[in-house]
Chains A and B, each alone.
Chain A
Amino acid sequence: MKRVAYYKGCLASLSAKELDTSTQALAPRVGLELVELESVTCCGAGDIHEAEPDYYLHLNARILAYAEATGSDTLLTVCNVCTLNLRQANFMLKGDDTLRARINANLEAVGVPPYSGEVEVRHLLWEIAEGDGYELLKQAAHKGLKGLKVAPFYGCQILRPSKIMGFEDPDRPWSLERIIEACGGEAIDYPAKIKCCGFPIIQAREETAMGELIQPVEQAIEAGADVMVTPCPLCHLSLDAWQQKLEASTGKKFGLPILHLAQLVGVAAGIEESELKFKRHIVDPRPALERLEV
């Protein structure tokens, strides 16, 4: 078992609780022991990062400090945006002793342990796409997805900027495809899989966001997808919940079920419905899964 500090982020703590329960259920089967962080806050998403960057850096340094305090050298994330925020802050703190000293002095002033810069931030996707995690995943996914056609949707902030993410080629990623195939599913290919779903501006500029959101949904359906999978709960929220608005504005019926990564693997691993919590989705994935007797 690899012991990792587990950072849920806001969505898995609140509106996407199904992501948290399925991650918790899956973790031991892919060799991860999750140590929950109690005192951490939201990472601030792109919003605090943009508006108050110094506060963003402090908030994320605080999360990293509490992760380090667990004694683990890995902070596990389940959200693209958290991953980018935390990795970026981590590089800033690791790469500049003067900056780290100022932030640490502030952390200590409010009662947070200082951060040495030794933690690595990794998304669940990377833990199970290669190495030991991947080997265990292949064993765990014994029930298989039985030829389910799955559209991988990466979302932006697990791929770009590659100098911060650095896991795979941002134009030709492979991790989701590899996981889908290891679970016995069929990964379908379509151009928008690496593009943006529009989430960051879905409230402030809904129309522009919708022009982005429709691309993966339409293309995946056209390519024959039964379901779509994403490693990001924000992508999930826009793809799942705002799909009804796409249907209203285009007059088309999409009904494309969107699964969190941990849910997709969870189905293949035979994890109980009570942990996967599909009833919390707007587009119910159960009919698609039942049809294939997955």
Chain B
Amino acid sequence: MMQVALKIWRYDASTGDRALREYEVDAPEEATLLDVLDIVKDKVDGSLAYRKSCRMMICGSCGMRMDGAAVLACKTRMYDVAQSGHVPVISAMGNLPIVRDLVVDMDPFWEKFKAMKPYLQPGYERPDDGREYRVTQERMNAVKKEALCINCGCCVSECNAMESDPEFLGPQALAKGFRFVGDPRDGATVERLEQYSGEHGIWECTRCFFCNERCPKGVDPRDAIAKLGAEAVKNGIDRDMGAKHAKWFIRSTETTGWLRETELVPKTQGVVSSIKQMKFAMNLIKHNKAGLAFPPHVAANVGEARNLHKLVHEQGVLGAAGHIQGERALSKLEHGYHEGGDPYGPGSFPKPYLPEDTE
């Protein structure tokens, strides 16, 4: 057995009462955070509210934050934390309204999920031999990662774009979107890409990579969003400023080699909105932040980049396929960092980032 101490943010939405309470219990050494919460509820305080079901990382019910980072409680072993003497702070997930204690209201999550039309819209004919429609494993592998999602919300909890704009479809919904865009049997690819490219879709992702870092199932939602972006551009759905921005980058590498920044704002936003940006832009020019570079700074041998671009288009690894080709190599990597790197040691300066503690 081991002793585990926890601080839990208790909350009651009906009264608005909020309090950080500390608990200490005995638990078996192999206990997960979920096991510890069960012990607290059984032995110390029966009013503690949290969700759980499968206890084996498959139902997606037990998403919550430990020290400000979203985790599945049933996947998080407590032994090392307890041994270190650190008392972790447990709180409800972010970006969703709290109902009570560690329970959030998942309705906004499910609404976005539903908006993606998360079901197959078959786009195939039954083969001539009268048998079932067959897809190769290789083609289904395109959506292998996205299909792993268990709808736990850990990614949504930390999404920086959603924090700023709650309307953003967000990592879970968009990853689900690619699960169908990338499915060879689905017939609504173009309609989906049009819909997902809306104001709160693909191009609102701010690439903070919190979703990839937090997802307990290796879905890598940010990568799924990149696949959607690549498919949208491949299918000519590129009216969004985000897509235009990307196309201008490509043009720059083929001409000067370096980003032609001065022209980037007009290319992305169009002339009308650029005039509004004029005052702001003039100030940048004054400080050489967006100076008109004459002659433009041109990288040596930029023709090589131009020819590579031509080759890439000839070989036709376009759209999401370009992302998927790297997955085999990237799947060999694991999240983490070099041990012993932190010269301060646990608990010393700099203080850990504990947003719930600082409120």
Give chain A's interface residues, CB within 8 Å of chain B.
Answer: 10, 13-17, 38-42, 44-59, 62, 88, 91-96, 99, 106-107, 109-112, 130, 156-157, 160-174, 177-178, 187, 189, 191, 193-196, 198, 200-201, 203-205, 207-212, 237, 241, 244-245, 279-282
Taking the closest CB of chain B, its distance from the CB of A245, in whole angstroms, is: 6
Chain B residues within 8 Å of A58, by CB: 308-309, 311-312
Chain B residues within 8 Å of A279, by CB: 287
Chain B residues within 8 Å of A170, by CB: 213, 337
Compute how far the CA of A13 lies from the CA of B258 in the bound complex, rounded to whole angstroms.
Answer: 8
Dominant SS among interface residues on chain A: helix
A50 touches B334 (CB 8 A): no
Contact pick for B301, options A39, A96, A237, CB 8 Å: A39
Taking the closest CB of chain B, its distance from the CB of A285, in whole angstroms, is: 12
B229 touches A201 (CB 8 A): no
A194 touches B353 (CB 8 A): yes
Compute how far the CA of A38 lies from the CA of B68 in the bound complex, rounded to whole angstroms.
Answer: 44
Chain B residues within 8 Å of A237, by CB: 289
Chain A residues within 8 Å of B321, by CB: 54
Number of inter-chain CB pairs below 8 Å: 295
Residues 209 to 231 of chain B near chain A (Cβ within 8 Å)? 209-210, 212-213, 220, 222, 225-226, 229-230
Residues 183 to 220 of chain B near chain A (Cβ within 8 Å)? 203-210, 212-213, 220
Q: A96-B326, A107-B308, A160-B212 are in contact. Are A207 and B165 (CB under 8 A)?
A: yes
Compute how far the CA of A205 lies from the CA of B230 in the bound complex, rounded to whole angstroms.
Answer: 19
B289 touches A169 (CB 8 A): no
Compute how far the CA of A187 lies from the CA of B312 in the bound complex, rounded to whole angstroms.
Answer: 47
B252 closest partner in A (C-beta): A42
With a 10 A CB-CB cut-off, give which of B220, B315, B317 has the most chain A CB atoms. B317
With a 10 A CB-CB cut-off, give which of A96, A168, A187 has the most chain B CB atoms. A96
Taking the closest CB of chain B, its distance from the CB of A48, in whole angstroms, is: 5
Compute how far the CA of A205 lies from the CA of B178 in the bound complex, rounded to whole angstroms.
Answer: 22
Chain B residues within 8 Å of A14, by CB: 258-259, 261, 293, 297
Chain A residues within 8 Å of B229, by CB: 50-51
A188 closest partner in B (C-beta): B350
B318 touches A172 (CB 8 A): no
Compute how far the CA of A282 lies from the CA of B307 in the bound complex, rounded to whole angstroms.
Answer: 38
Compute how far the CA of A41 lies from the CA of B291 in the bound complex, rounded to whole angstroms.
Answer: 20
